[in-house]
Amino acid sequence: MDNKSYQQLTRTFLRLSRFSHLSAIASWDMFAMMPPGGSAARGEALAELSVLEHQILTEPKVAQWLAAATQEDLNDVEQANLREMTRLHTQAALLPESLVEAKSLAGSRCEHAWRSQRPANDWQGFSANLREVVKLSREEARLRAEVKGCSPYDALLDIYEPEMTSAQLDGLFADLKSWLPDLLNRVVERQSRQPLLAPVGPFPTAVQRELGLETMSALGFDFNAGRLDISAHPFCGGVPEDVRITTRYDENELLSALFGVIHETGHARYEQNLPRNWLGQPIALARSTAIHESQSLFFEMQVGRSNAFLQRLLPAVKRHFGDQAAFEEHNFIAWNQRVKPGFIRVDADEVSYPAHVILRYEIERALINGDIEVDDIPALWDEKMQAWLGLSTKENYRDGCMQDIHWTDGGFGYFPSYTLGAMYAAQLFSAANRALPGLRQQIAGGDFSALFDWLRQNIWQHGSRFTTEQLIAQATGEALSSRHFRAHLESRYL
């Protein structure tokens, strides 16, 4: 057999990947470099690109080729690629072009306005734009749910985390809820008995940037295929051949920008190590958003906040910022492992972080399923923050329900990825520790080669060849379980 239909599909998806390359770089530029006046035009250009990609993906002949390719003589890699092609085609074919364009435009408009509305604590202005985004996201969810035969929210969740359901999430999160609040209270109480010295600033942005670049190098970031910039909300964008990561600096904060950089470097290393010989095909894409987050949290939390890494980091901190009492080793490590419930998700420690995720998940699920409206969000947010973390966000929208970028462009279904990612990261690190005796000593010595080889072998090189379930079972010998996450938190903090 000549596999003619499959070859047609690979050409089509290669073409699609080139358009999505342009879209990724234009989006990065919009968040990191673009002057404000370019916003409307850029939003329209990106909407046009998303419509073009949608047209290519949903052409009738693509459906014909997909059907014909199932009868062709494909090897297991090609079959996996065909599975991913079919998934992407099915997701796109459900949506009318007009909805794709309207959603892209509404998202660009809402995100751009959010940049000035958030600092101004302007919930009224923000909610007006958000209502339009929610309306279009509900319409998308309804169309997807009708075909998949599931709830509207589950239909959106499937985009980010294929095959995951809110019933599974509820089970995993119920388990977390059964032990995490008590663990959090015990850790906070224990740490309150150990007074710490805070590092004294200012810490100049230029010097923080130098330390960040140095750390990226140590963690294997390829600067020939990527760069570091500034944005309002740290992110990793671009494409595997040209990865763009960003952070934000605060001259009064010693390491929040650095840990943002370490987090995004985890995303970037995954992208830079995706299977090169399959690039341009769906099989070469990252498996899912939770697997992506597992890589960033593996770098930031499992490695970055470990005693071994912090010991390794301390001399570099002193070299860049001079010595001070807070940089005594025991204090420095404890300071970077302190647990303090706060308002801001991206600054949260790993013990209180799941609370931020679960409250967003519960709100966005109710919103998409039509159980609540946009106007209900602030009160619900406040109620859940008080229940979980004892903090009130009443009328503090800036540090409450307006703090994240995800909902501005309709990214409903993404938030669970963060806590799923933390669970995957703990499970992967546990497996890596079993496979690599002496790993902690290697990290303390700044030698990450064996660890990165292990990640490359078990996660990076596979792209989307396997389902998430298969990938994790092969790498760790078992299905996803929260027990590794619990064991990690207990051993580090108690």
Q: Which residues pair with 87 in a beta bridge?
A: none
Q: How far apart are CA 431 and CA 422, in angstroms?
A: 14
Catalytic one of 78, 111, 132, 264:
264
State the Cα angle at 355 between 254 and 140, rounded to 5°.
110
User: Which token pair is 88?
Assistant: 């992407």
DSSP string, 5-35: HHHHHHHHHHHHHHHHHHHHHHHHHHHHT--
- Residues of the chain by 3-state class (helix, strand, coil), percent to 5: 70, 5, 30
User: Which token pair is 40?
Assistant: 């409307």
Q: How far is CA 43 from CA 34, 128, 297, in A?
A: 12, 18, 31
Q: Return the SS3 of 352.
A: coil
User: Which token pair is 424?
Assistant: 């995957």
Is residue 101 flagged as an active site residue?
no
Torsion of CA 346, 348, 351, 357, to 10 degrees: -40
Backbone angles phi, psi at 242, to 5 degrees: -155, 80
Q: How far apart are CA 401 and CA 127, in angstroms?
A: 10
Active-site annotation, residues: 264
